[in-house]
Structure formats: structure tokens, C-alpha cells
Amino acid sequence: MTTIWVLGDQLSPDNAAFSGFSPQTARILMIEARNRGRRLRYHRRKLVLVFSAMRHFAAELRRAGWQVDYHRLEDTASFEEGWQRHVRTFRPRVVRLLEPSDFTTSAALPALARAEGITLDLVPTNLFLVPRREFQEWAGTSKHLLMENHYRRLRRTLGVLMEADGTPSGGTWNLDAENRKTVSEWRRAGSPRPTPVPKVPPDALTREVMTAVDREFADHPGRAEGFDLPVDRSGALRWLEQFITERLPQFGPYEDLMLSGEPVHFHSLLTPWLNLGVLHPMECIQAAEQAYREGRAELPSVEGFIRQILGWREFVNGVYWLRGPEYLSLNALNATRPLPAWFWTGETPLNCLAQCLRQVLDTGYNHHIQRLMVLGNFLLLTGIRPAEALRWFNELYIDAHDWVMAANVIGMALHADGGFMATKPYAAGGAYLSRMSDYCRDCRFRPDVKTGPEACPLTFLYWDFIARHGERFGRNPRMATIVQSWKKRPAGDQDAVRSQAAAFLDREVPTT
């Protein structure tokens, strides 16, 4: 009998490895492993989500008649241990497996099979919309890739938000310009707030996992206590439906907004289940498009949401497999400072950073603008080593996986790939945070002050960043004007900015 090995991020009832098999012709192997959970210091809520989702998926398979050989982390130190127990017990000749989603697993599992003389039948993943080879053929040998080109190609190919005459719905491909409402505009609109995300009390199976995670991973950040997320497909589908009905209609205009005490706001918070395979990207895309066709959500919100999945999610996965493991060690801007210790506590006088850090340390979640324009922006401006930043993002977020974070952190947030996937660095000073958040209101620093004790550190750090990399970015058409603006400032102003930036870095982000 063939064994179908289901990994922890392949929890789809439509997993292509099942194709052609039935409970009478194959059994399922699933392995939780303590050393896998300790590869990094993953947030405990991330571990609860993954292990509980695995156990619930196994229960669904058993109810459907499948025999599941399940190895729990309580008695399984490693993948190797669970694998060897399975092989000794069932002696399969062939193990069928959906392509793993990361380099490490992709290299390790064939080696395990070879050691036992077992044939490993790898099935191309169907949990993404773009096969890896197709993305590689599209990218070719380009030195720079534009996500927008990739996105438009997929819109045409898959017929998403397209009209019968071959034009994009609404007559335009990208509605970003309509999706950048500021905090002032939000207030003038009456400060709309969505219905809170529904909480899902943990069932007995999840409580078992919470106890095991607290025991086995006591030194990891976060707490299992308070976990209230869906852990199965039915729960994830309810969250999708609630988002489409109650938050999607206003998602677009306010997707870049950051508000104190609003960790989700109008965002979907669906990536944890997309990245575990529990939800499929196309069903999320189709649900959003149907809401547009039925007049339940306007095009800017629908297009903005679809672009995040069809555009960015598929793009960052493609870049991960295109560039290979070496992409993870890129450092084009020669950033050398270590990650500050307060990234693990949230103890910082900058309210924007404190808000986002405390939120992720507590819940394992920030929405994408908090990640990019607060945390990523700070790491970029201060020259934090990309490998340390990447590790931190991978450890802290419940939706983090190697393929997700590599391009998002190395390429998009830190510009460490030299502009391969972003035409300019996502760098900003205090004025941006003042426009797009209410964080500055309760901060001791003022975004409109350039230097001095009240100056927002992000502002002088921004200009110090421009000064440090002026030669590089002066050749960039999208940055040249900013570089020239810096060069035209009086020498005294430049000295004040650089001096204050150096003092801040020595105090808050020391090199030793």
C-alpha cells in the first residue's frame, strides 16, 4: 500500500498527492516533530495553530475513511524518528508527497527515502496558482522583476476581474491610488470600524496542543493561553465569509491605515490558513470577485484584496524558488547592525514601534503595512543585518513560512536584493506615519520636527539613510529627486541630522 505523507502546510482536502488514491489503496502519514518546532524560536501561537490544524485535518481524514499514521510531538523528537517508525511498521515501497514549500524540507525528505530504499513520488504542488517552472520561464534571466507585470499576466490567464472584451474590470488594472486614505480622511468619514473578528474557543483537541506547546516550547515567545483562532477548514471558511461580508467592502480605502488597538481593522487575516493549505487562494479570489459582481463590495476593495493574493503571494513564492537558497543571505546595502534586544520586548519610546511590537509579541500578527512601513522601515533605515531580521519575522508571525518571508523581508522590506523585486526601497520618515496612523498622537516625538530632542527618530534616520546610500540611489530614477533634495540642504542641517542619527543608533541599536 502506498503512503501519502502530508506535511503541516499541506492541509488541503484537494491535496494533489491524494489524486488517484483512496482509503483502500493508500494510508496517510503525518508527523509532528519537536526539533522542527525548535528550528527557530517560533511564537507559541504559531505552533498551536500548526499542530492543532494538523490534528484536526487528521481527524477529518479518519472520518472520511482514511487510515492515518499520526506521530505527535509529545513522543516524536524528529521527522527522522517518526519516519523510521512508519517505515518499520508499514514497510511502504512508495511514499507519495506534495512538493515541500521550502528548501530545507525539499532537500531532507529525498535523503530520508533513499536511506530506506524507498521511492519518493513528488507531486507538483497545487496549493499555488502558478507552477514553479512557469514562473521561472516567465522570469527568464531578468535582472529585475515587476510584480505588476506578473499580476496582469495572471489576471488575463485566469480570467480574474476581466470583462468579456478582454479589458480589466473598471477599465484599469490597479486601483492603489484609491486605496490610500489617511487617518484624517478616515476620521472625516466618521471613523468607521468593522465588526470584530470572531473568536473561536479552543476545543479539547486544541487545548491538548496548547498544553503540549507550553511544556515543550516554554522558552519561545508568546503564550498559548488566549489562542482563539480557527483550526480547521470549516472555521477558516466562516472567517472567509465574515471577511467578505463585513470587512471587504471597506478594506481597500483603509488597507494602509494603522490604528492603536485595531490589530486587524478591515484586513482579512486569512493568510494563516492560506499558508497551511486549509484555504485555497482561488476560492478566496472568487469569493471577493463574486461580491463585486453582486454589488456587495466596490472594485477598489476587491481589486486590492485580489492583488495581495494573486499578485504578491504568488510573486513572492515565485521569487523564492527562482532565486534559490542564496537569496536568503543577500545584503546589497551592507547592513551590519544586530537586531536590537527591545524587538523582543516592545520597550521603545517610539510609539509606532511599541504598538506593532507589543501586538505581534502578544498575538503573532500585524497587518502588512505595520510589517512593511513600521517594522521593516525601521530595520531598513537603521541598517539591521537582513539575516537577523528575516529570522525574527519567521519566528514571530503565525502566518510565517520560509517562502513567504524570504522575498517579503529580503527584497521588499530591506532592499537587500539590490532592487530585484522592488524598484525603490520602502523607506519613510515620521511624516508618513503621521498621515497613515494615529500612533504619533501618543508619542513623545513629533513628526514635524526635523532635529532636536522632540524630533521623530524616523525622520532623521530616513535622511541619514539617504545620505549613506546617496550614490546608489542617486542613480535610481525613483529616488534621484530625494537624493538631490538632501544634497541641497545646508551643511549645518546635514551635520545635525547625521549627528543625531549616530547618537540614536549608538544608544538604541548598538553595534556591540
CATH of domain 341-508: 1.10.579.10
Residue 49 one-letter amino acid: L
Q: How far apart are CA 12 and CA 281, in angstroms?
A: 11
DSSP string across 228-293: ----SHHHHHHHHHHIIIIIHHHHTTTTT-B-TT-SSTT----HHHHTTTSS-HHHHHHHHHHHHH
Q: Pick the closest to residue 274 from 285, 265, 263 (CA basis).
A: 285
Q: How far apart are CA 220 and CA 213, in angstroms?
A: 9
Question: Locate cell 533634495: which residue?
Answer: 485
Task: For domain 2-123, give the CATH superfamily.
Answer: HUPs (3.40.50.620)
Cβ-contact 316, 49 below 8 angstroms:
no
Residue ranges of alpha helices (H) inside 126-230 are 132-139, 147-158, 183-188, 204-216
Per residue of the chain (512 residues), what is the pLDDT tens digit?
A: 899 999 999 999 999 999 999 999 999 999 999 999 999 999 999 999 999 999 999 999 999 999 999 999 999 999 999 999 999 999 999 999 999 999 999 999 999 999 999 999 999 999 999 999 999 999 999 999 999 999 999 999 999 999 999 999 999 999 988 888 999 999 999 999 998 899 999 999 999 999 999 999 999 999 999 999 999 999 999 999 999 999 999 999 999 999 998 999 999 999 999 999 999 999 999 999 999 999 999 999 999 999 999 999 999 999 999 999 999 999 999 999 999 999 999 999 999 999 999 999 999 999 999 999 999 999 999 999 999 999 999 999 999 999 999 999 999 999 999 999 999 999 999 999 999 999 999 999 999 898 999 999 999 999 999 999 999 999 999 999 999 999 999 999 999 999 999 999 999 998 86
Residue 130 one-letter amino acid: V
Element (H, E) at 88: helix 79-90
Sequence spans of domains, the chain: 2-123, 132-222+232-323, 341-508
Cβ-contact 301, 249 below 8 angstroms:
yes
Q: How far apart are CA 408 and CA 315, in angstroms?
A: 10
The maximal CA–CA distance of the chain, rounded, in angstroms, is 79
Query: Hey, what CATH topology would domain 132-222+232-323 get?
Result: 1.25.40
Question: Locate cell 549616530: which residue?
Answer: 502
At 512 the pLDDT is 65
Residue 497 one-letter amino acid: V
Q: For the chain, give the number of residues.
A: 512
The pTM (predicted TM-score) of the whole model is: 0.96
∠ at Cα 127 (121, 129), nearest 5°? 115
* Secondary structure (3-state) at 461: helix
Q: Pick the closest to residue 334 from 506, 505, 469 (CA basis).
A: 469
Residue 64 cell numbers, joined: 472520511
Residue 83 CA, chain-centre distance (Å), reads 30
